Chains A and B, each alone.
Chain A
């Protein structure tokens, strides 16, 4: 894992010392962080207990939506984490989950 991670970070820097990147390549590569983040976010919010749960009883989904809004407004990582976790704990308290 360590070797592969370092390779990913270092290889392109080394290749780039010689080659210029094309616009097309950059346009494609922007989708990798987008899809990585989405692949982690979607199941974490929609199926926190290993099964699909689209309801207000799913505290992770509600907290996720609140976090999206808060992150969009503030771009503050610490604040978003704290708000999200607070929403989860609040809903658990409210619903007795």
Chain B
């Protein structure tokens, strides 16, 4: 019985690793772009690696870097990180349907490793199959290690190359978010919110000091989305 379990568990883990193969190039270029940009900002190789190791959140790491470039305050960086990452409340919450019975230790580890990509992969697998923690671990840990390795490679490249913009590598950030955004848009209300939020963030970026437009546009856009939902239910 025990030997059977030992045989079964790694296969789920390997399934998880296999599932992220199509994401490999995208995550790698995203991580390299982060490493390059971070070096350009003046972050040391050690610091940018530590950020990947401890935070492991591509979007907020990018945002933090651009906030550092513009000389933003520590408070704005923390607040923006909180707002940008508040989407994980939703992701954790919706995964919770499957994970709530697992031990706290497992949930802590998998929570730490949760990312937009691992959420997407895990949810689509769990929806039609048995929810297996080793599958989620395979997906998440694979992405974590890839993120870390290519962050370091990007940081090393940053010491040699100049500006990542020269090679268009900074486009990895919007491209990644375009791929993540499209599948979650399902109706006209969400399209409306996208257009409003996009307009708000561009306007805010033009007229507001530093990067306060990021948390402001997110909060306002979400409130408008919520109002549209309530209006629909009436």
Contacts and interface: CB of A to CB of B under 8 A. Distances in A.
B157 to A, nearest CB: 15
Contacts of A67: 174-175, 178-179
Interface string B172-199: 1111111111111100001001100111
Contacts of A51: 206
Contacts of A64: 174-175, 178
Interface residues of B, number: 87
Given A34-B225, A71-B178, A78-B26, A40 B63 contact: yes
**Interface range on chain A (Cβ under 8 Å from partner):** 35 or more
Interface of A: 1-2, 4-6, 8-17, 21, 24, 26-48, 51-52, 59-60, 63-64, 67-68, 71-72, 75-82, 84-85, 88-89, 92
Interface string B100-117: 100010011001101011
Contacts of B218: 32, 35-36, 39
Given A28-B222, A75-B183, A34 B190 contact: yes
A36 B22 contact: no
Interface of B: 22-30, 51, 54-57, 59-60, 62-64, 77-78, 81-96, 99-100, 104, 107-108, 111-112, 114, 116-117, 167-185, 190, 193-194, 197-199, 201-202, 205-206, 213-214, 217-218, 221-222, 225-226, 229-230, 233
B233 to A, nearest CB: 8
23 contacts: A10-B92, A13-B100, A14-B104, A16-B100, A17-B100, A31-B225, A33-B116, A34-B197, A35-B193, A38-B193, A40-B214, A42-B202, A60-B174, A64-B178, A71-B179, A75-B183, A76-B26, A77-B22, A77-B117, A78-B26, A82-B25, A84-B174, A85-B175
B197 A40 contact: no
B171 A38 contact: no
Given A5-B85, A35-B218, A77 B23 contact: yes
Chain A residues touching B, majority SS = helix
Most buried by A among B77, B87, B178: B178
B213 to A, nearest CB: 8
Nearest to A15: B93
A80 B179 contact: yes
A43 to B, nearest CB: 5
Given A6-B112, A35-B217, A42-B202, A12 B179 contact: no
A40 B221 CA distance: 13
Nearest to B95: A13
